[in-house]
Structures are given as structure tokens and as C-alpha cells.
Structure 1
Amino acid sequence: MAIIYLILAVVGIVFPYAALIPWLVTYGFDISLIMKDVTVNGLSTFAWLDVLVTGVALLVFMVTDSLRNKIRYWWVSAVGLFIIGVSFALPFYLYLRERQRIVLSEN
């Protein structure tokens, strides 16, 4: 499973940035335009609020779970949550967690 989680983490970088980079090339890094576009209608606002709540829940889970299970490098996933997003952070954290489980089972 670890390799699947790692592949999903890479996909979680590539797919969102494949949409973001062309937008940034066209419009530049304009925060007011970004906020306008992500809240253009109720559906897009719903999606972004859903991602926001998911991100907060994931951060709480990563902190508590990493302390409980002594997951090394969990903070890389937390940084990725803020720089890339949930699409990277969740599968990468699951990769770290699975890797830790494998190491413990071998000892």
C-alpha cells in the first residue's frame, strides 16, 4: 500500500498544479481575483469550504496521530498541506504512516 499512497501523493501534486499553473500564467498571482474566482458561485464556494474543513481535520489528525504512533517526518505532509493541498498531504501522510507500520512489523 505504501507505494500506492506515494503515487497518489505525486498525482495530488501534478493534477491540481496542472490546473493552477495555466491560470497563474494567464492572470498572475492576484489574490483578489483568486478569491473572486473561487467564490464565483455557490457550488465553488461549497467545494472550497469543504476542502478547508477537510484540511483542518487532516491537520488535527496528523498532529495527534503522529504523536501517538511516532510518525517521523509528518511535518512534511503538514507543510505540503499549506503549499500544495489536501490532495498531496493526505496520501503522503498515509504513506509515512504505512512506512512506519512496515518498519515496526519488521522489528
Structure 2
Amino acid sequence: MLVIVYWALCIVGTTLPYTQLIPFLLEHGFDSHLFLEQLFANRISSFFGVDLIVTSIVLWVFILSEGKRLKINHLWLYLVSHLLVGVSLALPLFLLMRQRQLDACNQVTI
């Protein structure tokens, strides 16, 4: 059941951010200066921007450490999903694969 929830979160975590990014790209192209200017336009958006940067660093540390500990393959996939979409995809995707690995380990030990 948890695996289905993680899959659903992967879909939502990809779809919702792109509903905001695609119109921006269509209107402005890949203008990184404007992107950062709008991201840090005021204190509230800066709060979310800084929070996301810190969360991203924590996510990379978690993926690399937990992935190595549980011997999860293809850790690069979760890092790339983070770069292409964001935490909203990378975290549920990694948790999904982590849960599968944990379930597989529990089945072997039983």
C-alpha cells in the first residue's frame, strides 16, 4: 500500500511543479537571472527558496548515505530526478525504492 502512495506522490510531485515551470519557460525561455530574481523577489519567496536549498542538500546527503547503507542501485537516478524536477519527485521516488529494498530484505530474513 505504501508503495502506491509513493508512486502517487511521484506523479503529483512531477506534475504540480511543472504546471508552474512550463508557462515560465514558454514566456521567458531559460532565463536563469530572471528565475533567481523572481525566486528571491521578497522575504516570503526567499524563505521558500532558502528552505528548498537546505532541503535539497539534506536530501542528497540522505540519498547517498541511506542508499549506500541499504545497497540501493542507481543512486544517480534520484539525484538526476532532483535536478530535473526537484525534491517533490526525488524524495518520494527514493523513498519508494528504499521501501522496496527494505521489504526485500525483510522477506529474506523471515
Q: So what's the TM-score if we normalise by structure 1? A: 0.94
Is the partner of 2:79 in helix, strand or coil?
A: helix
Deviations 1:36-74 (A, max 9, x none): 111110110110110000000010011011111111233
Alignment-derived partner of residue 84 in structure 1? 85
Would you say the 8 A contact 1:71–1:100 is kept in 2?
yes
**d(CA) in 2 for partners of 1:42 and 1:51?**
14
Secondary structure (helix, strand or coil) at the match of 2:13 reads helix
Q: Deviations over 1:71-90 (max 9, x none)?
A: 12332111111111100111
Q: Which runs of 4+ in 1 moved over 3 A?
A: none
Q: Distance in 2 between matches of 1:73 and 1:96?
A: 10
The gaps in structure 2 that reach 5 residues or longer are: none
**Letter aligned with residue 78 of structure 1:** L
Extract unaligned runs of 5+ from structure 1. none
What is the aligned partner in structure 1 of residue 71 from structure 2?
Answer: 70
Q: CA RMSD in A?
A: 1.0
- Match in the other structure for 1:25: 26
- Secondary structure at 1:7's aligned position in 2? helix
What's the % identity of the aligned pairs?
Answer: 36
Letter in 2 for 1:48: G
Written as runs of structure 1 = structure 2, the 5 A alignment for 1:16-55 is 16-55=17-56
In the other structure, the counterpart of 2:8 is 7
Query: 1: distance between equivalents of 2:4 and 2:73?
Result: 17
| Aligned AA (1:8) | L
SS in 2 for 1:40: coil
Quick one: distance in 1 between partners of 2:20 and 2:93?
Answer: 20
CA deviation after TM superposition for structure 1 residue 27, in Å:
1.5
The number of equivalent residue pairs is 107
